[in-house]
Structure 1
Amino acid sequence: MSTPTADSPTIDQVNRRPVFLLLFASVVAAIGNGVSIVALPWLVLQRTGSAADAAIVAAAGTLPLVFSTLISGTAVDFFGRRKMSIISDVLSLLSVSAIPILAMTTGLSVPLLAALAAIGAIFDPAGITARESMLPAAAKAAGWSLDRMNSMYEAVFNVAYIVGPGLGGLLIASIGGVNTMWATASTFVVSALAIAFLKVEGGGKPAAETKPTGVVSGVVEGLKFVWNVKILRTLALIDMAITALYLPIESVLLPKHFSDAGTPQQLGWILMAISVGGLLGALGYATMVRHVQRRTIMVCATFTAGITTLGMSLLPPIAVLLVLGACLGFIYGPVAPIANYVMQTRSPEHMRGRVVGVMTSTAYCAGPLGFMLAGPIADKFGVASTLTILGVPMLLIAVASIRMPVLRELDREEQRPQ
């Protein structure tokens, strides 16, 4: 686990301002995205009443993430972390503000909303990657361990995606869907201002000799680096597989089950249970890792994902489903902080943006694959059978993880390569 080093600041040198500004900017921008998750489909349904049209807009906001996340890492390493974070927020602000402006002028259509959702999806990953790349420097300034920093960072994201959709619903009810987008736009203004005041080591203009020479070459360098570092490659593949198996549960199978049962409110309850469990798991990681090896946490998380999924396949009463969902969120909550730690300690300073971009893009790539697999299976065999089909591979991945010596590197203190 992370321990103080000779480079750690003394009590007089400790500066927590970068940590608070970075976490504040991250949570505010994420809340804005959380509001958009609710507001965009609502705008579509207000105009057409078609669930298919709402799905088109939702897909438009997710599909570009696979490619934009890859490119965003190269952009961060080329332009610099602070600058790219601010640019990303400004572009997101413009794409979101265009919705109420067009609603008051030319009017909104499904293709137009889909296009604006896609544009937003192109800009957002650069800001997230830039802010995540500054975490180690902010932790160093505050005298925090990387584990504590990563725990707090992932926790604020969980908070944002609990608060954001709920806030979006309240705003829609009080000021309407179109005006809600003005509120969303304001979050990107606040995030950009917070980063503008952020001063952190490595956040400025990168050295010319370390910049990527082009978009394609930068992406290729990131991909090669992740592939050649065995622990990064292993984590990326495990995360990709688990994400492909898990995302359809939350986005397709549980909604179908509760829709067929005529109890949509219970869907909200279980999604909230998963989110709150994830928040507590992320928050508890910094304490957990002092007593439990990262490898053990990782293996337990994959086993829990499989066991809870198989438990859900029995379609038990809602009380049991809520417990299963909370357990899944809590045990899997520390996985993202562990992945962050490995990226931070195994990637060179000048390549961190590219490494973060590649690792994040694998998860985004897995989502559509999972949806394409789970949807047809659920239509043919039903929700219970599909949950079983998804849960068994999760358990097999967990069993395989026990026999992977490379995962022992999760607990090896290693200096970042230069």
Structure 2
Amino acid sequence: MTAPTATETRRLTPLLLVNLATLLSSTGNGITIVALPWLVLQQTGRATDAAVVAGAATLPLLLSSLFSGTVVDRFGRRPTSLVSDLLSALSVALIPLSAATIGLSVPLIAALAALGAAFDPAGMSARESMLPAATRAAGWRLDRVNSLYEANYNVAYLVGPGVGGVLIATLGPVNTLWVTAACFVGSIATVAFLRLDGAGVPDHGTRPSSIWSGTLDGLKFVWRNRLLRTLALVDMAIVALYMPVESVLLPVYFTDLGQPAQLGWVLMAMSTGGVVGALAYGSLSARVRRRTVMLVAVTVLGACMIGMAFLPPLWSMLLLAAAIGLVYGPVGPIANYAMQTRSPEHMRGRVVGVMTSTAYAAGPLGYMLAGPLIDAVGLSTTFFVLAVPVCVIAAVCFLLPALRDLDVEAEPPWTSDAA
């Protein structure tokens, strides 16, 4: 019995290492979400300065995510993950180093936050591109692996801010960033032990000739594949309409009530629902159609946003938030499956990068719409303005033939290099 157990453990090792690296890196990012604004507020006491730093950490994600996939396909998945985390660790560590030497200013913190954020998408795309090979090594189904990966990713962003708050209270915001840097170093150490087919430097014949041409090839490939194109467009619309709910509407609502703690409970309910939904999908995927799960997710999201528009009591908000997380938790694994089974092996990084960048592009559009709407027509009406189009999108999704392709079983990505 000893030999089979050892063999099984070795085959599961790549999958465990990819998930551990993702957990460490994403937890580090989750800590910075609370540590950087706190640091700025401690330095200046001005909310505007905290917003400047938050924006500086967000804007680079659009361009860097678009080109990150080409970097992965050109230089390799494992090398890109290692270099990305190394640069992220250095950019974070420069903040406490600067505090101890030349001193900190808002422009300097914003610049370092932007620098660190610019490197994150490449590492994320690299690790996500390694999932099919890790799936083959483990002998699992892609749906099960994607379910575990997305739940793991959500856990990191659920735990990271909480850990960051505790660390700020005990170590202070500056020293907390040393822990963030250590998380990135832990991810580097984890990937250093990873041995996986296709994770090294690609063959010269399959590498993109340049970052620009490779990115254009990725954009063209996604646009020409009707399933990927449809998922990208639906995702852009949903992100633009929904993200302001979490980042603008709910904070305004609970700030007006004078209950910031309740905002934390609602967001935690949403995140917890997302983890449960992603994990549950791993068990349900063999019995439920992917298209059905997708349609339920978009429909329930619209219905829950309508419910929130009535600004109900806290217990109702918690139930609606948990329902949103629960039904939308499987959407990430389903999108991963579509990318993995519809993209050639040598283009997977570019496809992941392009699909990810659509969400980063849509988010700021929603924020620009939500703020002026709240000032002009009020919070409840703004909820309805954002929720009704989501319901319309849900109805349209029932009519989209491309979504039926989700249930057309494609060849596993390790057996074919065809789209």
TM-score category of the 2 structures, normalised to the smaller one = over 0.9
TM-score where L is the length of structure 1:
0.97
Please say if 1:284 is aligned against 2:280: yes
Please say if 1:309 is aligned against 2:305: yes
Please say if 1:178 is aligned against 2:178: no
Match of 1:209 in 2: 205
SS of the equivalent of 1:16 reads: helix
State the alpha-carbon separation in 1 of the partners of residues 211 and 20 from structure 2.
Answer: 30
- 1:54-203 alignment to 2 at 5 Å? 54-203=50-199
State the alpha-carbon separation in 2 of the partners of residues 414 and 93 from structure 1.
Answer: 38
State the alpha-carbon separation in 2 of the partners of residues 340 and 180 from structure 1.
Answer: 33
Q: Deviations over 1:128-167 (max 9, x none)?
A: 0000000000011001110010000000111101100000
Q: Deviations over 1:322-351 (max 9, x none)?
A: 000000000011001000000000000000
Indicate how the Cα distance of structure 1 residues 148 and 11 shifts in structure 2: closer, same or farther if over 3 A, else same: farther
Q: Deviations over 1:78-115 (max 9, x none)?
A: 11000000000000010000000000011111111110
Match of 1:405 in 2: 401
SS of the equivalent of 2:11 reads: coil
Match of 2:268 in 1: 272
TM superposition shift of 1:288 = 1.7
TM superposition shift of 1:248 = 0.3
Identity of aligned residues (%): 59
How many residue pairs match? The answer is 410
Q: Which runs of 4+ in 1 moved over 3 A?
A: 9-14
Deviates more, 1:14-23 or 1:171-180: 14-23
AA aligned opposite 2:317: L
Structure 1 unmatched runs, 5+ = 1-8
Match of 1:6 in 2: none
State the alpha-carbon separation in 2 of the partners of residues 261 and 141 from structure 1.
Answer: 52
AA aligned opposite 2:386: L
AA aligned opposite 2:283: T
Match of 1:244 in 2: 240
AA aligned opposite 2:81: S
Indicate how the Cα distance of structure 1 residues 128 and 374 shifts in structure 2: closer, same or farther if over 3 A, else same: same
The equivalent position to 1:38 in structure 2, one of 34, 37, 46, is: 34
What root-mean-square deviation, in Å, do the aligned CA atoms of Structure 1 and Structure 2 show?
1.3
Please say if 1:346 is aligned against 2:342: yes
AA aligned opposite 2:34: V
Match of 1:27 in 2: 23
TM superposition shift of 1:212 = 0.5
State the alpha-carbon separation in 2 of the partners of residues 32 and 223 from structure 1.
Answer: 30
State the alpha-carbon separation in 2 of the partners of residues 389 and 83 from structure 1.
Answer: 45
SS of the equivalent of 2:278 reads: helix
Indicate how the Cα distance of structure 1 residues 101 and 143 shifts in structure 2: closer, same or farther if over 3 A, else same: same
Indicate how the Cα distance of structure 1 residues 49 and 290 shifts in structure 2: closer, same or farther if over 3 A, else same: same
AA aligned opposite 2:212: V
AA aligned opposite 2:84: S
